[in-house]
Amino acid sequence: MQKIIRWITLSLLTSASLLLVACSDKTSTEDKDKVYLVATDASYAPFESVNSHNEIVGFDVDVLKAVAEKAGIKVQFINTPWEGIFSALAAGDRDIVMSCVTITDDRKKNMDFSEPYFKAQQLIAVGANSPITKFSDLKNKKVGVQNSTTGDVVTQKLLGKDNTNIKRFETMTLALQEMLNGGVDAVVGDSGTINFFVKQNDRVKMKVLSDPSFTQEFYGYAVKKGNTKLVETLNKGIKAIKEDGTYQKIYDQYFGSAI
């Protein structure tokens, strides 16, 4: 009788172990097969934009593809307007936001971030003959910004949150074109995008100004609050591409000089 009981107990334990292994394998397979949906406002060349074949391309895209490969995950990029990009993340419609998102304390309250993958700062773009030489000169000027970006935030601090002289645009390109057309006196935005626009439009005379009040900023990948597993996965990939030189190669391709 005791032998029968022992046999039954052993059988149950073996079955339970096999069940745990099966569940573990299933979870692993599900993680491997999952495609993470990446929200990106593809209007921010050279970081993310849409080419003539309607493909999302750019520095951010190449970097995250490399990160995903090293981390062993699959990603799919979806063009998502900036104004709704964080609500899409919060609602679970997107898994990652990749769109030159500056890591800030306010944003950390509502989402989690990976380690930084890019360092930037704000710059001021003005016409070649503009008398503007520093940020404080914009006090009584019309200033173009991309809506809800860090450039918008720093301009609000100077002019006031509800100042009608702050002209908000859906993209940085629209803001810069408005400046060239005389609709605004200056544009405040991230260094990478402004420098790229100036380079692409070298026939048009523009000046790019920095200011001591502008602090360094760091871009990171945003994920839904509490998704620490995905943060760890992204950090693993970021670390790997920086250590093996992949990141530097991509950086040099777009910006042409060492970090």
Cα(115)–Cα(231) distance, integer angstroms: 8
Cβ-contact 152, 166 below 8 angstroms: yes
Cα(11)–Cα(124) distance, integer angstroms: 73
Cα(122)–Cα(143) distance, integer angstroms: 13
Q: Note the Cα 102 to chain centre separation in Å.
A: 7
CB atoms within 10 A of CB 121: 15
What percent of the chain has a predicted confidence (pLDDT) above 70? Answer: 86
Q: Which pTM does this prediction carry?
A: 0.70
* Res 49: pLDDT: 94
Percent of the chain that is helix, strand, coil (3-state, to 5): 45, 20, 35
Cβ-contact 41, 33 below 8 angstroms: no
Give the position of tokens 């006196």. 185
* Res 256: pLDDT: 65
Residue 187 has pLDDT above 90, yes or no: yes
The model's pLDDT over 39-65, given as tens digits with 9 standing for 90+, comes to 999 988 899 999 999 999 999 999 999
- DSSP secondary structure letter of residue 151: H
Of residues 258 and 118, more confidently modeled: 118
- Domains assigned to the chain: 33-119+219-255 (3.40.190.10), 122-209 (3.40.190.10)
Helix (H) or strand (E) holding 209: strand 206-209
* Res 31: pLDDT: 60
* Res 117: pLDDT: 97
Residues 6+ apart with CB under 8 A from 43: 49, 50, 82, 170, 171, 172, 173
Cα(26)–Cα(108) distance, integer angstroms: 33
Residue 6 has pLDDT above 60, yes or no: no
The model's pLDDT over 89-143, given as tens digits with 9 standing for 90+, comes to 999 999 999 999 999 999 999 999 999 999 989 999 999 999 999 999 999 999 9
Average pLDDT (190-210) is 86
What percent of the chain has a predicted confidence (pLDDT) above 90? Answer: 70
Nearest Cα residue to 212 out of 120, 122, 102: 122
CB atoms within 10 A of CB 160: 12
